[in-house]
Structure 1
Amino acid sequence: MQKSNMDGVTHLHRGRQLVDDDVITIAPRPKTIADTGVAESVLYELMLKHLLGNGVLTKAELVAKMGITGGIIQQLLDSAKKQAWVENRQTTNDGQMRYALSHHGEEYGKQASAKSGYRGLTPVPLSQYTEVCKKQSSRNNSITFEMLKEGLSALVLPQQLLHKIGPALNSSRPVLIYGPPGTGKSYLCRNLNHTLGDSVLIPYAISIGNEVIQVYDPQLHHRVDKEEVENSLDLVKGHDPRWIKCKRPLRITGGELTAEMLEVQFDSHSRTYMAPIQLKANNGILLLDDLGRQRISAKQLFNRWIIPMEERRDFLALQSGEHFEIPFELILLFSTNLNPKELVDDAFLRRLGYKIHFDALAEPLYREIWYQECREKGLSCSEEMYQHLLVHYHQLHQKPLIPCYPRDLLGIMSDQISFLELEPEVTKELMAEAWSIYFV
């Protein structure tokens, strides 16, 4: 099922996987060279680079490596043979023709590799990427309270917190989550993509003129389809193989964040472009964890993203100096243990829109987490032991009921039980030892 808005643009329902009809609609398989949307010279050079790197390939192997149909590959091969770039080689045992570069083609392939070292799937044009990215925006369909509750059902959270997070995710504004360490800020953010729940199409690469930027990152983009690339020989069935069906991405960056990571990166050794973190996170969530600890200051970061945060579009540049615009279609989350007013001024805080404070838990929720962790670790804990924890440790030492304490304290007890070969039961002795180890 699909949902159409008033301007006629088709959007995908949240909370389910893309089905075949969806992906074929928003990313139909190109049948001709013109349908690919990229310059013919880019296709020729990419094919020659694949042949240069692999020596000899069949048409089916070129289809798999370039992600375009056998019909388009055949057009490229026929034209390349006329220009004496490609030669036929002995067929395979099952009768498939094999192709290799001629001496002239090898020289041309080396020249192409010197300009760009990219050897992946055929890129999609920037205009098509922009169109598909906007159609797949998570903001096209609202999150409801029940959806958020179901998506975060594995977490123990105060109801009032859900009532703040839900509207924040539905807005087009960035979200700042702040509060003391251990209150579950990062843990919550890392689970929010379960609420989104559906899948999106991620391009392997995009083309800016004759330049190619790789977007797909297997460490970030998790495939949900197992479609065999050989199906690309079929001109009718399936979606454009240059788009990979993945779970909505969740990109997390912390203290390692630099200003360079926000721009297109060019590797002079491999002569390839890599997408910045916000481009890789499009149609998903980008979490800047531990805000204020990055190598780029919070002020520099917000200055860099004033336009993207307000207009949902970003501007990037290639090594040549050519500038281009990309969509900024992501849920942008900031998490910090610091006082927000120490990071940026009030003007920047207003631009963030939503500021959500995390703090210690009420006792019933803390109890729920404690016994949940006991079950997960296979430990038994009597009510007497739990009350002993509250009175003789939390109250006596004036320690708030922070959500991370049960996991950490019971983890230490579990380690002690395993080492000393004890019964899996929380005792006063184990509790005293764990508390003394955990707190300075």
Structure 2
Amino acid sequence: MLQSESNNTADFNRESDDIQTETADSNDVSKLAPKPITIEATGLSESLLLDLVTKHIFTSGVLTKEQMVAKIGITGGILQQLLDTAKKLGWVENRQTTLDGQMRYALSHTGEIHAKLVFSRSGYIGLAPIPLKQYIPICKQQSSRARPITYEMLERGLKDLVLPEDLLFKIGPAMNSSRPVLIYGPPGTGKSYLCRHLNLTLGDDVLIPYAIAIGNEIIQVYDPELHHRSEMDSGDNPLDLNSGHDPRWIKCQRPLRITGGELTAEMLEVQFDTHSRTYMAPLQLKANNGILLLDDLGRQRISAKQLFNRWIIPMEEHRDFLSLQSGEHFEIPFELILLFSTNLDPKELVDEAFLRRLGYKIHFDALDSELYRKIWFRVCDELGLVCSDANYEYLIREYHIKYHKPLIPCYPRDLLGIMSDQICFMKLESVVTQSLIDSAWSIYFV
């Protein structure tokens, strides 16, 4: 049965309650994060920006103003102010112009000393960060809950999957809920496969900060392996003040972060690399405004009970507490769809109190004969195989029924994949035969 209960969450940062319910226009993110034209508008201190400028020049040797604007993600006007200050401090010197007349800049001996000192404190080098105060309201405005999912959206996003219709009526409301979702059932029933496709139903883009500043400490958030940049990102040209968004934000598809047995307690906290002296965001911060799937719950290096204890407040209040190496604590939004998937009995993982906090528990099981047949012949088409009705009935009669094997969704792709490999190896016609079925079944099942 589908279970839910009312959500009584406390919203931190009360002054942004009103904007939390607004929907960000993914086609006009310049209104959500306009380009700052003054140092004050960046929300960062002049000293932090100066340090970033000197680090970039130090690592590159010589840079033009245009190159620095692209590397730091600030406007030319702001950069000019920083260069003027750096020259007064004796850190930056002019070098010979380029062939097209652009001034080139390098560090003086004093500037190099300062850059080395800055690097000894922080190894971060990249786009200028977004201060936490600016990140919080934009993250809330981009919440997926601000744009409720409808049956039509879910059906369209999952059109390539074969699913029982009643499952859509359970998954859809669960994604609109503010509560985490537990998906459980036998192995091979499509739990993880479905979860990996759910972000397709959201179908919009969000702004991901390249990095976040907590005071003068910088945490990198943007991960190119997780955050897939939108093809229509208009923030690529920082020199154009009249269009596009603040280039310190990267316009991306809503993230889908999947973690399984490799999950450790350390991955849920801000990580500091002592060698490079850089901070990296925890996985839940990287997944903000998207979906976080914890696959194979119960098989992580951290126990399910420890995991839920760590996330009681984030799950209920949509805020997470993190800390830096210095011991400084700060809060971030926990604005994501949190999914748990497991093959184990949920009652063996955690007690009833934790299960109640999850809100939605959705059971996956074997398919009926009609859906199983549909998947079988769809996979045949994908693999370029021909299978007669007689041979399909042979599979059902002689194997599924005879050996009491349920109609699990993963079987067609796995069995037909083995047959396709055999056909390729033995140079046979692309036809499913009874002998191939016999062979594939004996290889697949122990």
Q: In structure 2, how many angstroms separate the alpha carbons of the residues matched to 1:226 and 1:104?
A: 42
Structure 2 residue 434 is matched with structure 1 residue 439: no
2:23 corresponds to: 12
Would the aligned equivalents of 1:180 and 1:359 in 2 still touch at CA under 8 Å?
Answer: yes
Structure 2 residue 181 is matched with structure 1 residue 181: no
Structure 2 residue 253 is matched with structure 1 residue 247: yes
Cα 1:280–1:56 shift into 2, 3 Å: same
1:100 corresponds to: 106
1:169 corresponds to: 175
Gapped regions of structure 2 (runs ≥ 5): 1-15
Structure 2 residue 218 is matched with structure 1 residue 212: yes
Alignment of 1:22-421 (within 5 A): 22-225=28-231, 231-421=237-427
Q: In structure 1, how many angstroms separate the alpha carbons of the residues matched to 2:31 and 2:20?
A: 12
What is the CA-CA distance between 1:344 and the residue it aligns to? Answer: 0.4
The one-letter code matched in structure 2 to 1:12 is T
Q: In structure 1, how many angstroms separate the alpha carbons of the residues matched to 2:334 and 2:17?
A: 22
Cα 1:6–1:274 shift into 2, 3 Å: closer
Would the aligned equivalents of 2:185 and 2:363 in 1 still touch at CA under 8 Å?
Answer: yes
Per-residue CA distance 1:50-83 (angstroms, 9 max, x = gap): 0111111000000010000111111000110011
The one-letter code matched in structure 2 to 1:280 is K
Please state whether the residue corresponding to 1:45 is helix, strand or coil: helix
What is the CA-CA distance between 1:279 and the residue it aligns to? Answer: 0.1
Cα 1:74–1:53 shift into 2, 3 Å: same
Q: In structure 2, how many angstroms separate the alpha carbons of the residues matched to 1:69 and 1:135?
A: 25
Q: In structure 2, how many angstroms separate the alpha carbons of the residues matched to 1:341 and 1:195?
A: 30
The one-letter code matched in structure 2 to 1:64 is A
Would the aligned equivalents of 2:180 and 2:360 in 1 still touch at CA under 8 Å?
Answer: yes
CA RMSD of aligned residues (A): 1.4
Would the aligned equivalents of 1:67 and 1:229 in 2 still touch at CA under 8 Å?
Answer: no
Per-residue CA distance 1:171-219 (angstroms, 9 max, x = gap): 0000000000000000000000010111000000010000000000000
What is the CA-CA distance between 1:142 and the residue it aligns to? Answer: 1.1
Per-residue CA distance 1:131-186 (angstroms, 9 max, x = gap): 10000000012111111111101000001111110110000000000000000000
Q: In structure 2, how many angstroms separate the alpha carbons of the residues matched to 1:266 and 1:124?
A: 19
Would the aligned equivalents of 2:366 and 2:409 in 1 still touch at CA under 8 Å?
Answer: yes
Indicate the percent of aligned positions where both proteins have the same amino acid. Answer: 72
Q: In structure 2, how many angstroms separate the alpha carbons of the residues matched to 1:319 and 1:126?
A: 17
Per-residue CA distance 1:102-148 (angstroms, 9 max, x = gap): 11111011111110000000001101111100000000121111111
Would the aligned equivalents of 2:235 and 2:244 in 1 still touch at CA under 8 Å?
Answer: no
Q: In structure 2, how many angstroms separate the alpha carbons of the residues matched to 1:212 and 1:121?
A: 11
What is the CA-CA distance between 1:232 and the residue it aligns to? Answer: 1.1
Q: In structure 1, how many angstroms separate the alpha carbons of the residues matched to 2:412 and 2:236?
A: 51
What is the CA-CA distance between 1:226 and the residue it aligns to? Answer: 5.7
Please state whether the residue corresponding to 1:368 is helix, strand or coil: helix
Q: In structure 1, how many angstroms separate the alpha carbons of the residues matched to 2:44 and 2:198?
A: 36
Q: In structure 2, how many angstroms separate the alpha carbons of the residues matched to 1:104 and 1:229?
A: 34
When normalised by structure 1's length, the TM-score is: 0.96
Please state whether the residue corresponding to 1:202 is helix, strand or coil: strand
Cα 1:234–1:110 shift into 2, 3 Å: same
Q: In structure 2, how many angstroms separate the alpha carbons of the residues matched to 1:280 and 1:297?
A: 22
Cα 1:175–1:227 shift into 2, 3 Å: closer
What is the CA-CA distance between 1:414 and the residue it aligns to? Answer: 0.4
What is the CA-CA distance between 1:406 and the residue it aligns to? Answer: 0.1
The one-letter code matched in structure 1 to 2:26 is L
Cα 1:136–1:230 shift into 2, 3 Å: closer
Per-residue CA distance 1:390-429 (angstroms, 9 max, x = gap): 1000000100000000000000000000011111011010
Q: In structure 2, how many angstroms separate the alpha carbons of the residues matched to 1:238 and 1:341?
A: 50
The one-letter code matched in structure 1 to 2:250 is I
Q: In structure 2, how many angstroms separate the alpha carbons of the residues matched to 1:128 and 1:408?
A: 48
The one-letter code matched in structure 2 to 1:152 is L
Cα 1:225–1:158 shift into 2, 3 Å: same
Q: In structure 2, how many angstroms separate the alpha carbons of the residues matched to 1:8 and 1:292?
A: 37
2:7 corresponds to: none
The one-letter code matched in structure 2 to 1:312 is H
